[in-house]
Amino acid sequence: MKLWQKNEDVNKAVETFTVGRDREMDLLLAEADVLGSLAHTRMLETIGLLTSAELEAVQRELKHVYREIGAGRFRIDDDVEDVHSQVEFLLTERIGEAGKKIHSGRSRNDQVLVDLRIFLRRQVMEVADDVRSLFALLQRLADKYKEVLMPGYTHFQIAMPSSFGLWLGAYAEGLVDDVQMLLAAYKVCNKNPLGSAAGYGSSFPLNRTMTTRLLGFDTLNYNVVYAQMGRGKTERIVAQALSSVAATLARLAMDNTLFLSQNFGFISYPSSLTTGSSIMPHKKNPDVWELIRGKCNLVQGVPNQIAMMTTNLPVGYHRDLQLLKEVLFPAIAEIRSCLQMAHYMLENLSVRENILDDPKYDYLFSVETVNNMALAGVPFREAYRKVGLDIEAGTFKPEKKVRHTHEGSIGNLCLKEVADEMDALFAQFGFERVEAAERALTE
């Protein structure tokens, strides 16, 4: 039996096709769905749609269901199409008529909207925490290896001296910008759509400000039509933030894969973290980094998948939107897995020292020589020409000493300043307030 069903049974093939993977995806939304109902029913009591006794019974049983979900004992029955239906059926079965009243003033449309917002804001914060953990490790490694020089490249040609500290610190600072994207996505997620019903509001005198406060949202989506139009847009914005993180990780993975190869040999990992070949006994393959690279490249395609599903949809709800969960939810799991594995690998990173002693890296110091001549009074263009001619003649002999002192250079990584930027971003999330609101609903 469906919530919307009257007397006629649904064609089985149609039911199977339309429900799709909703039961599987909706299990991830179960806690959020109960939180939404806890807030909604409190509001219903204030406008006379539930008695105080009914509210007490509903709240008690909803909290019981919430604990069942946390303990892994909640499931969506095969003859129930989604999490909203399952929760309502359970309440009606356990407490009777009061359970049938909880849907007053809302639709499954705004139920799934509020579920997604609650779920996605939590997921964004957990991704951000994983990013911050990787950031802290990269910062520590950058400080540890700040004096160890390595080649820097442009056009895949040796260019100028770099350091492992500079390389690792670059990815740390890149994650700061990624958190900026996550913060923007979090702010979009943290707006309350509950009360928009099917997308056109309700004739009940709903108190949307009350549910906004109870659920810990920063504000609400005021226009009920726009609240419904936010479906798809919210997912796309979250996917874009995930894509930003994925782009940073994919590039870091590529560097690791490259620098681990014998042609470079700049870094190494314990044998237990690499894989072998079935016929080549010498192989130590960087499969973890290659899979991180591949998975992150796929995640970067998710915003476009969402765009293709939603670009031409007119105003209102459409069943196409159901498919967004099947695209976005696995991407969130993938990016978290990649962040955690990257952290695990880098904890075991070893770097090779004295790389630049090899004569093939002599030309890395050509700019240093030009700059030293310019500091001694030789016009820069004249110094550039002189060093260029020495290189062509094979007489160039560099002084392999680096004197980079400006902000963000080899000798001045500004790690504290970068850490301060990350701390300032995290201070803006305010997730402690959200956690307090969710706790107050369920205790």
Question: Which residues are tagged catalytic?
Answer: 155, 277
Question: Which amino acid is present at 386?
Answer: K
Residue 391 corresponds to which tokens in the numbers above? 């290189």
Q: Length of the chain, please? A: 443
Q: Is 220 helix (H, G, I), strand (E, B) or coil?
A: strand
Classify strands 191-192 and 219-220 as parallel, antiparallel or unpaired. Answer: parallel
Q: How far apart are CA 32 and CA 26, in angstroms?
A: 10
Cα 100 from chain centre? 37
Instruction: Give the CA-trace dihedral at 138, 238, 431, 420, to 10 degrees.
Output: 30
Q: How many CA atoms lie within 13 A of 428 on its CB side?
A: 16
Angle 387-390-392 from CA coordinates, rounded to 5°? 110
Q: How far apart are CA 222 and CA 225, in angstroms?
A: 9
Question: Which amino acid is present at 112?
Answer: V
Residue 99 corresponds to which tokens in the numbers above? 């359970």
Q: Are 20 and 320 in contact (CB under 8 A)?
A: no
